[in-house]
Amino acid sequence: MPTLTFQHSILSQLQNRSGIEYNAEEWEKRLPGIGCVVEANDENGIEIEIFPDRPDLLSHENIARAARSFLHSIDITPDLEIHHGEIEMKVESSLAEVRPVILGAIVRGVDNGSTPQEKDEFIQSLMEHQEKLHMTLGRRRKFSSIGVHDLAKIKPPFRVTTVDSGFKFIPLAMDKEISIEKILTTHPKGVDYAHLMKGLTKYPVIIDSNEKVLSFPPIINGNHTAVSSSTTDFFIDVTGWDKRSCEACLLLTCLSLSERGGIIESIELRNWDDEISNCPRGDSKLHNLPHNLIQRILGIELSNEEINLAIKKMGGVLLESRTVTDGAEKSEKWADCAVGEKEHVIAMPRWRSDIMHPVDIVEEIAIGYGYDNLPDILSTVHLDAIPLKSSQLRRRVSSSLCALGLQETQSLTLSNNLDQFNNLRWKAKGEITEIANPITKDHTILRQHLLPSLLNLLAANRHHELPQRIHEFGTVVIDSKNQLKTAWACAEVGGGFAAAKGIAQALLRDLGAEINLITYQATTPQLGPWIEGRGAKIFYDGVEVGEFGEIDPIVSRKFGLKSPIQAGEFDINAIGQSIPDPVL
């Protein structure tokens, strides 16, 4: 979940604009209700962890707006006032296969502060908001990316077209022209997001009437459009592949600027098929909510007035409560109303992309009404749960190994080639799934084996006394497909191969295996982590299900271990297919 530090000075300015005194202590106490938790509150600011389902709270301005309605019950409209603008942006047909969703807007007259410090804080806040939206709604710029430009430095109308890799312009934070190809291989942002351009021979750019590049989405803006302390008028472009994500990013950026007094203007968007539209749309979205759904989920009967007050605190409005006269004769359990039933028509902001179903509206009502005010009753919603086959197998495997005195652990699925293959002398099985942008050399691939994680854990605890006996049931990735494995490792004196074989036999026995169908085969020397002559593959009814043995001291030392270790690793998918569940 994103964690943001909101500066007291900015929040105080925004609240005072509405005639409300900002109170950090009150925020800390009551703000968790709208989808965030205050992690810290000191002289540096208030640190807030934003829940993943509330990307609309990722800026100073938007969280202050939400706080006004939730904490102070001030009515705020779910509509965003948008004035008709004259600026045109034409999208050429070549964008259809490159970056098909193109949106934009103008915001004029933004109050960016009265002092140099306030102006710097505004610019920093604007950029942080943009990057948080990129990481969340934009899925690291794959679904959507945002460009914010100084309108005074560019000349409309705008054109969105494609160019080849040799096309040159001056990117942000540089002072000379550089080609698209060089940007993707040398510019920091180009290197970070070059994977989004993989396979393309043409690249998207936004150009003004002076033939100057505003943006090379989703990579980098042009240098001459950079926002400065004197910027009060903005052009915002949003491009991507997911229309819902792009629309939410555009509206949230406009909303935060409008909270600073900005006037939002639409642009005339002319697509390659000559379809003309004005964007963005500021009208709210209407949701039909069956009245009996509220009672079914919350267990209480709310009046229209109580529903309206609750939904207003969440930024919405109850427009109408009515009896359905047209539609299905029988209602769906979670959505539609039948003829004769009561429903509510509720308007919610269009930028609330997290609201996708009537149940989401019920949650908003519950938050606005207050969870503390709900009665202490058992849920009226009864759903019979059926355990997954994989969960059943996991429980049986974990129970067996825990009964053998092994402590259960859980480690990351991320690993690296050195631990997975080089150190343990195992060869890769199928294709290795690599991480495109690893943040550390220890986490460059998705693991194919669990045993390296256990050895690293033993190494981290080598200063504790022996014995140390651990196991893990987890996911590995082979040929880009998830598979289940279990492994154990015991650092102990007096264990050895016999102890490893005993654990293997006990595990298969507990899973319902027939002893006469179990066979063994010695492992190939130097192929795997085992001491020569003290490692074995185990088969059930002719199917290889795993291997076990004593870890070679040469292997142990690579992990910083000096004590004797016996271990094993089993393929749970193979076991599940070979051994019938005795419980079923």
CA distance 297 to 359: 9
Residue 583 lies in a domain: no
Radius of gyration of the chain (CA): 30
The domain that holds 574 is classified in CATH as: 3.30.930.10
Asked if residue 63 lies in contact with residue 53, where contact means CB atoms within 8 angstroms, the answer is no
**pLDDT digits (tens), the chain, 584 positions:** 677 788 888 888 888 777 788 888 888 777 777 778 888 888 888 888 888 888 999 999 998 898 888 888 888 899 999 999 999 999 999 998 899 999 999 999 999 988 999 999 999 999 999 999 999 999 999 999 999 999 999 999 999 999 999 999 999 888 899 999 999 999 989 999 999 998 899 999 999 999 999 999 999 999 999 999 999 999 999 999 999 999 999 999 999 999 999 999 999 999 887 788 999 999 999 998 988 888 888 888 899 999 999 999 999 999 999 888 776 555 555 566 777 788 899 999 999 989 988 999 999 999 999 888 888 877 666 667 777 776 788 888 889 899 999 999 999 999 999 989 999 999 888 889 988 878 788 899 999 999 999 999 999 988 888 889 999 999 999 998 999 999 999 998 888 899 999 999 999 988 888 888 899 999 998 899 999 999 999 998 888 999 999 999 999 999 988 899 999 999 988 888 888 765 54
Digit-coded pLDDT (tens) for 425-467: 998 888 899 888 787 888 999 999 999 999 999 999 888 888 8
- Residue finishing a domain among 72, 104, 122: 72
| pLDDT of amino acid 565 | 92
**Residues 265 and 355 placed together within one structural domain of the fold:** no
**Long-range contacts formed by 371-376: CB under 8 A, 24+ apart:** 371/33, 374/298, 374/299, 374/300, 375/299, 375/300
Residue 378 forms part of a structural domain: no
- Whether residue 361 is contained in a domain is answered as yes
Q: How many domains does the chain have?
A: 4
Q: Is residue 525 domain-resident? A: yes
> 497-503: which pairs have CB atoms within 8 A and are 24 or more residues apart?
497/534, 497/535, 497/536, 497/549, 497/550, 497/566, 499/566, 500/548, 500/549, 500/550, 500/566, 500/567, 500/568, 501/536, 501/548, 503/401, 503/404, 503/406, 503/548, 503/568
In a domain, 584, yes or no: no
The answer to the question of residue 550 being in a domain is yes
CATH of the domain at 187: 3.50.40.10
Handedness of CA 453, 458, 461, 463 (dihedral sign): negative
Q: Are residues 96 and 15 in the same domain?
A: no
Domain shared by 526 and 465, yes or no = yes
Are the CB atoms for 487 and 415 separated by under 8 Å? Answer: no
Quick one: pLDDT at residue 329? 52
Please state, in angstroms and rounded to a whole number, the distance separating the CA atoms of residues 275 and 91: 10
CA-wise closest residue to 433 among 446, 452, 414: 446
- Whether 324 and 414 map to the same domain: the answer is no
Instruction: Determine if residue 533 is left, alpha or beta; phi over 0 gives left, psi from -120 to 50 gives alpha, anything else beta.
Output: left
My answer on whether 187 and 318 are in the same domain is: no
| 14 and 139 fall within a common domain | no
Q: Which domain holds residue 299?
A: 285-373
Q: How far apart are CA 382 and CA 281, in angstroms?
A: 40
Q: Is residue 384 part of a domain?
A: no
User: CA-CA distances (angstroms) from residue 179 to 62, 183, 239, 537, 563?
Assistant: 37, 6, 21, 56, 57
Do 275 and 295 lie in one domain? The reply is no
How many helices (H) and strands (E) the chain has is answered by 16, 29
CB-based contacts of 306-309 (< 8 A; 24+ apart in sequence): 306/369, 307/344, 307/365, 309/73, 309/368, 309/369
Q: Do 550 and 405 have their domain in common?
A: yes
Is residue 137 located within the same domain as residue 271? Answer: yes
**Pair 565, 459 in one domain:** yes
pTM beyond 0.75: the answer is no
d(CA 264, CA 235): 10
The last residue of one of the domains, among 345, 373, 401, is 373
Query: Cα–Cα–Cα angle for 226, 228, 229, nearest 5°?
Result: 170
DSSP state for residue 246 in the 8-state scheme:
H
Boundary (domain end) residue, out of 342, 373, 404: 373
- Domain shared by 269 and 306, yes or no: no
Could you tell me the CA-to-CA distances from 416 to 75, 218, 434, 448 in Å, in that order? 54, 29, 9, 10
Provide φ and ψ at 203, rounded to 5°: -125, 140
> Residue 31 sits in a domain of what CATH number?
3.30.56.10
Nearest CA among 160, 188, 185, 152 for reference residue 173: 188
483: exposed, middle or buried (C-beta count within 10 Å: 0-12, 13-18, 19+)? middle
Residues 524, 393 within the same domain? yes
Strand partners, 263: 108
